[in-house]
Structure 1
C-alpha cells in the first residue's frame, strides 16, 4: 500500500511503541503486552527480526521473529499485529519474507489460532503457507480480548520461501464433489461427520472471538471439534491443501481409513 514505511525497529522508544501497539490489539493493557520492549531489544540486538510499519509517522503494525530450527534455514515469526483491513499485515509479511531471503533462509514458520477464519484465509490463501502440525493448548489458557480465557490450540504454519508468493489472483481451491465434511457448521454449532474420503472439509465458525465472549460453551465445542478432526488428520499425515470459500479447511488424505477417531456421522460436541 502507498505511503507505508516498513523498516526494522531500533531503540527502546520504538520497541516500547510496538509493545503498546500489541497491548492495544490483544486488549491486555500495557503491563500484559504479548511482547515487552525489553524482549524486543534483546532479540533485535542478537540479530533477529523486529520490524514495524509506519503510516504518516505513526506505528500501525509490528512483527517479531527469531531464528529457528533447522539452524540456518528457518525464521520463526513469533508475533505480527497490525491495523485490520488495510493491507498492513500483508505488507509486513512480505517485508519479513524479503528479510529472510536476504539472509539465505528457506522458510518462515509461525503459529496461529486455527479457529479464526480471517487468519486461516490470510495464511493459506493470501500468503500460500501450509499447516504442518496441530498444537494443543500451546500457550495454556490466555485471558485476553482475542483468546477469551480459552485454551490456546494453535496450528504451526510453514511458508516455503522458494515458491512465489501468492497474488490477489490466486484462485480459491474448489474441493471435489465427493469430499467428506469432517466438521460442518450446523446453525452455529459444530457437527462432526465422516473423514473417510480423499478430501475432507472442516468448517470454522463465523466469529470465534465473539463466541468466546458470548457463548463459551459453543466456543469450546468448536475447539474440540476442530482439534479432533484437523488435529487428528494432521497427525495421521494428511495435508491441508487450501481454504474453501473463506470458511473451510480442505484436507487431503493420501490413504483414507475407516479407523480414524473422527470417523463418525451426525454427532454434536457440546
Structure 2
C-alpha cells in the first residue's frame, strides 16, 4: 500500500468528505502487497471458481504500472474495499471501471466511486463506464439514483456463464452504465442529492412482478416501466427457474427497448427502470 506521491492530483472535497463519512482512507496502490490484499478481498466477496478471480494480482500490477487506476479503501490497517479501472475508448475521454467491491456497507462503495471520479477528472477524462447485472436491484439503484449514471447499452451474456457464489451459473447479461462526470444530475448526486426523476403520468408497465415471477405488459408506449426482482441473488439459489425467467424477460423487454433506441432515464423506488422512447 502506498499513499499518493508528492505532486499527484488530490481527491476533490466531495470525495474526501465521502471517505470521511464512510470511515475509510482511500489510496492508490502500486505494490504487490496491496494487489494481494485486493485479491483476497475480492475472493471473500465473490468466492470465484478455482483459477477464475475477478482480476489477478499480475493484471493489477500491469495496469498500475501502465498508469491505470487501482485503489484500496482501508479502515485502520484492514482493506475493506477496492476498485480497478483502466483507460478506455475514445482515448483521453473514458475510464472503464472493471471491478469495484466492498466487504461491508456504510458508504464505502460511494466513497470509492467519488475517489475514482476525482482521479478521472484530474486526468482530463469526462466519463467513467462500467457494466453491471440489470437484475440486481440494489446495484441499479446505486448506479442510477446514488451516482446519477445511466445504462446506455444492453449486453447479453457478456461474460458467458459465471460460476461464482453470487452468480451461481446464471447467464451474465450486463448493461453498460455511463457516468458523465460533469452533468448536472451527477454533480448533484456527488453533493449527496440522489437522482430521483418523476415517473411521467403516461407511463405504462412493460414488465411487472407477480408472485415472484415476471409478467410482460405493454411495451409500445412513450414511457415504459420495467420491473426487476427484489433479490435476484437469493432467488437464484431458492428458485433457479424463476431466476432464469427473470433473466430472459428483462433481456427481451429492457434489452429490446434499448436496442430499438429507447433511453433509460431513471430508476424508481419500487424497483422499475424508467425507459423513454
Query: Is contact 1:17-1:59 (8 Å) kept?
Result: yes
- Aligned counterpart in structure 2 of residue 226 of structure 1, from 243, 250, 263: 250
CA distance in 2, matches of 1:250, 1:13: 43
Query: Is contact 2:204-2:225 (8 Å) kept?
Result: yes
CA distance in 2, matches of 1:248, 1:236: 19
CA distance in 2, matches of 1:29, 1:141: 12
- Aligned counterpart in structure 2 of residue 81 of structure 1, from 80, 86, 101: 101
**Residue 241 (structure 1) aligns with:** 265
Aligned-pair CA distance for 1:29: 6.4
Q: How does 1:25-104 map to 2 (within 5 A)?
A: 25-28=45-48, 31-104=51-124
Query: Is contact 1:20-1:30 (8 Å) kept?
Result: no
Q: Which runs of 5+ in 2 are unaligned?
A: 1-20
- Secondary structure of residue in 2 paired with 1:105: coil
- Secondary structure of residue in 2 paired with 1:54: strand
Query: Is contact 2:49-2:163 (8 Å) kept?
Result: no
- Aligned counterpart in structure 2 of residue 116 of structure 1, from 136, 142, 155: 136
**Residue 267 (structure 1) aligns with:** none
CA offsets, 1:208-252, max 9 Å, x none?
011111111100100111001111111111111100115110001
CA offsets, 1:137-159, max 9 Å, x none?
00000011111101000000100
CA distance in 2, matches of 1:195, 1:180: 8
CA distance in 1, matches of 2:103, 2:81: 6
Q: How does 1:1-270 map to 2 (within 5 A)?
A: 1=21, 3-28=23-48, 31-163=51-183, 164-166=187-189, 167-170=191-194, 172-253=196-277
**TM-score w.r.t. structure 2 length?**
0.88
Q: Which runs of 5+ in 1 are unaligned?
A: 254-270
Aligned-pair CA distance for 1:198: 1.1
CA distance in 2, matches of 1:228, 1:178: 22
Aligned-pair CA distance for 1:171: 5.0
CA distance in 2, matches of 1:2, 1:129: 21
Q: Which moved more, 1:112-121 or 1:171-180?
A: 171-180
- Secondary structure of residue in 1 paired with 2:220: coil
Aligned-pair CA distance for 1:27: 1.6
CA distance in 2, matches of 1:109, 1:62: 17
Aligned-pair CA distance for 1:57: 1.3
Distance 1:33 1:165, change over 3 A: farther
CA distance in 2, matches of 1:126, 1:87: 11
Q: How many residue pairs end up in the alignment?
A: 253
Distance 1:154 1:212, change over 3 A: same
Query: Is contact 1:183-1:203 (8 Å) kept?
Result: yes
